[in-house]
Structure 1
């Protein structure tokens, strides 16, 4: 499929935003996480990116639950297999006959992704190497499914974690694996390449990858944290000052009455 055909496929379903409220309410598509990357997109562009099925690499596609429920999107891309990695979508039905596999992963920082990655990556590779086209999806196509696609690029396309992240980000600008998944991806890169291209830096909000979107997010959290702390301190001092003033006024009034 040529680039022009892929662009036409990517546009399929973008106008149908009927499930946007569901996506907005899901844990995988919260505003805070999207802000790590989405500050360069308009709200409409961001929602279009969330709703689309996108090509990550030859035979590999990425989507949220909306995209895999659009017949035209699946048929246009020639999707033959679907890998569903969302625990909450165990009963999701697809509109065309496709080979499916479901793995119940949670988009949570307590989820242990690393033990799953070798098997999931191998499954994707087996589909692609036999001529199939596989779409990996979760609820919003932002964290769980994006992490699997990144891991595949590291293992079978020889990319570093930094390069793989950038390639998936270019295809789907709203991706943002949670911080625990980043730890898993860093460990996975070390297992495959015996080196790391992304370093996790300690911030007040946790271990954060030293990539620009995450650094901006961490700095924002730090700044907000300091502002909140200062607000508490200022409020405390203001309260004490008011109490002191009132005590002085009422004390002076009582002394006047005694005189």
Structure 2
């Protein structure tokens, strides 16, 4: 973290111990207690985390946001930051983050919260929720191609097993 100049660490993984911090840089530390479950209210942390990241950036620092896998919770907080302080739509923010970390996929509940946050910030939402029959639930339209590809793969796999 010292080599990267990390001056703020945001830990969004209550199931992990506190992040070991550098005694050289002595970064700010914020622990966000939020499990990766659709019903968890992550939105209550959007402004606090986004504003902290922006304050650190304006003071010449950089922030590390982590959870367990870097897929849902930390990604959702990054998306909220980009919407609030970089002026991006949710769709733009997701596309940007996914171009850097392709495995990013906030859970559906977090996506719903991000949609509401975008509505609050911009007056509209750039991502729609669509019903996906094989899961019997709504998913963000931006993830539909990934889900369709997985569904096609599983159907081909199950079909190949039946032929054996």
What's the TM-score once normalised by structure 1's chain length?
0.54
Map of 2:99 onto structure 1 = 170
Map of 2:70 onto structure 1 = 141
**1:75 matches 2:2:** yes
Q: CA deviation at 1:182?
A: 0.6
Deviations 1:75-115 (A, max 9, x none): 23211111111111243323453221111111111211122
Map of 1:209 onto structure 2 = 140
Deviations 1:3-54 (A, max 9, x none): xxxxxxxxxxxxxxxxxxxxxxxxxxxxxxxxxxxxxxxxxxxxxxxxxxxx
Map of 1:47 onto structure 2 = none
Alignment match of 1:128 (pick from 39, 57, 61)? 57
- Alpha-carbon distance in structure 1 between the residues aligned to 2:71 and 2:153: 25
- Work out whether residues 90 and 104 of structure 1, in 8 Å CA contact, stay in contact via their aligned partners in 2: no
> Structure 2 unaligned runs (5+)?
159-164
**1:86 matches 2:16:** no
Q: CA deviation at 1:167?
A: 0.9
Deviations 1:178-237 (A, max 9, x none): 1111111111110100011111112232211112x4333157459969xx9xxxxxxxxx
- Work out whether residues 90 and 102 of structure 1, in 8 Å CA contact, stay in contact via their aligned partners in 2: no
- Work out whether residues 208 and 218 of structure 1, in 8 Å CA contact, stay in contact via their aligned partners in 2: no
> Structure 1 unaligned runs (5+)?
1-73, 229-259
Q: Which has the larger radius of gyration?
A: 1
**1:182 matches 2:111:** yes
- Work out whether residues 75 and 106 of structure 2, in 8 Å CA contact, stay in contact via their aligned partners in 1: yes
- Alpha-carbon distance in structure 1 between the residues aligned to 2:139 and 2:84: 23
What's the TM-score once normalised by structure 2's chain length?
0.82
Say how many residue pairs are matched: 153
Q: Residues 125, 202 of structure 1: CA spacing in aligned structure 2 closer, same or farther, 3 A cutoff?
A: same
Q: CA deviation at 1:171?
A: 1.6
SS at match of 1:76: coil
- Alpha-carbon distance in structure 1 between the residues aligned to 2:102 and 2:145: 17
- Work out whether residues 208 and 215 of structure 1, in 8 Å CA contact, stay in contact via their aligned partners in 2: no
